[in-house]
């Protein structure tokens, strides 16, 4: 089968086409014909070699772990899926990904794709959607009537977070560049802050929660916009616990997990039109397409999810 791989860490030129054998499946796995794959920031960080100390891989690496497709074969102990089912999944990082015509995925990681949800949109949901959900409801326990500041509201996770927070009844303040103002207000943000021209520290006071998708200086400066007892969660850096304690807030780091009930809920909301799936670009499953997808992700300025259309 056609696949696109890397055999050494480095820039996008490391990608090359390969002819790989179709994956063998275990009794608990499903063979999925890949239709669409989403690219996430962690992908290019892995490719560049930035994460090899704590996330080691054997070469070659097949990228692409947010996937949608159609079931082609099921293992002997698989009970909930049949050949022909449309599915979506966050596949296991430790196994070959979906920059290939076929991928083997554990049944426990799969969700049935609603029929009216396009494969490209389905592939966009898993990592970004579950991360936003877990930040809002597992970490900061956002409730109706509270105010939440979301740094990086126009990125893959931010777009989900703005909508989910608004749906939960919160007042949503989102930061992004000026070109995203109208987009984010239309998406549900109550207030927009242009991070390039405005200082959020001077504009936000007494927030109940902060979602940090940026890290660095933004994370460090976010403690002061929270009320005492406020909650902060970051996916972009480890919060300073001493500083948080001094300010009387709770600060945590999220390493998101695969939670199938959340993925099912997100797919259902998207299917019902209650959650807008925003695609930054849909690129072809070619060497150039995959390279472009990683290059776009690396700019950190894509609005929405970057998709590679395999079929």
Per-residue pLDDT, 73: 98
The architecture that CATH gives domain 128-253 is 3-Layer(aba) Sandwich (3.40)
Q: How far is Cα 186 from Cα 291, in angstroms, rounded to an integer?
A: 32
Q: Average pLDDT for residues 62-66, to the nearest whole number?
A: 98
pLDDT band of residue 119 (cuts 50, 70, 90) is: very high
pLDDT digit string (tens) for 203-249? 999 999 999 999 999 999 999 999 999 999 999 999 999 999 999 99
In sequence order, the β-bridge partners of residue 36 are 68, 309
Q: What is the pTM of this model?
A: 0.96
Per-residue pLDDT, 208: 98
Q: Where are the domains of the chain?
A: 2-125+277-309, 128-253
pLDDT band of residue 300 (cuts 50, 70, 90) is: confident
pLDDT digit string (tens) for 126-179? 999 999 999 999 999 999 999 999 999 999 999 999 999 999 999 999 999 999
Q: How far is Cα 164 from Cα 56, in angstroms, rounded to an integer?
A: 33
Q: Average pLDDT for residues 295-299, to the nearest whole number?
A: 95
Kindly indicate whether the domain formed by 2-125+277-309 is annotated with CATH number 3.90.180.10.
yes
Angle, alpha carbons 286-289-295 (nearest 5°): 145
Per-residue pLDDT, 11: 98
DSSP annotation of 94? T
């Amino acid at each position: 089968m056609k696949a696109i791989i890397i055999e050494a860490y480095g820039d996008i030129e490391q990608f090359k086409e390969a002819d790989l054998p179709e994956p063998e499946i275990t009794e608990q796995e499903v063979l999925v014909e890949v239709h669409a794959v989403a690219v996430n920031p962690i992908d290019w960080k892995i490719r560049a070699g930035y994460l090899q100390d704590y996330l080691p891989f054997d070469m070659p690496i097949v990228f692409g772990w947010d996937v949608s497709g159609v079931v082609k074969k099921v293992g002997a102990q698989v009970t909930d899926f049949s050949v022909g089912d449309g599915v979506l999944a966050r596949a296991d990082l430790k196994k070959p990904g979906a920059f290939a015509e076929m991928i083997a995925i554990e049944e426990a990681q799969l969700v049935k794709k609603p029929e009216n949800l396009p494969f490209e949109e389905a592939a966009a949901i898993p990592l970004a959607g579950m991360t936003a959900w877990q930040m809002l409801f597992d970490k900061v326990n956002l409730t109706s009537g509270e105010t939440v500041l979301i740094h990086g509201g126009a990125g893959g996770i931010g777009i989900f977070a703005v909508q989910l927070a608004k749906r939960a009844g919160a007042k949503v303040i989102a930061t992004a560049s000026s070109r995203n103002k109208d987009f984010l207000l239309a998406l549900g943000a109550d207030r927009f802050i242009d991070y390039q021209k405005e200082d959020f520290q001077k504009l936000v006071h007494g927030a109940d929660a902060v979602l940090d998708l940026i890290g660095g200086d933004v994370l460090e400066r976010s403690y002061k916009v929270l009320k005492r007892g406020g909650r902060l969660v970051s996916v972009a850096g480890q919060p300073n616990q001493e500083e948080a304690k001094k300010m009387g807030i709770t600060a945590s780091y999220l390493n998101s997990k695969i939670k199938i009930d959340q993925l099912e809920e997100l797919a259902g909301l998207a299917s019902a039109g209650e959650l807008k799936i925003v695609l930054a670009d849909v690129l072809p499953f070619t060497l150039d397409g995959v390279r472009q997808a990683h290059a776009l992700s690396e700019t950190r300025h894509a609005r929405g999810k970057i998709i590679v259309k395999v079929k």
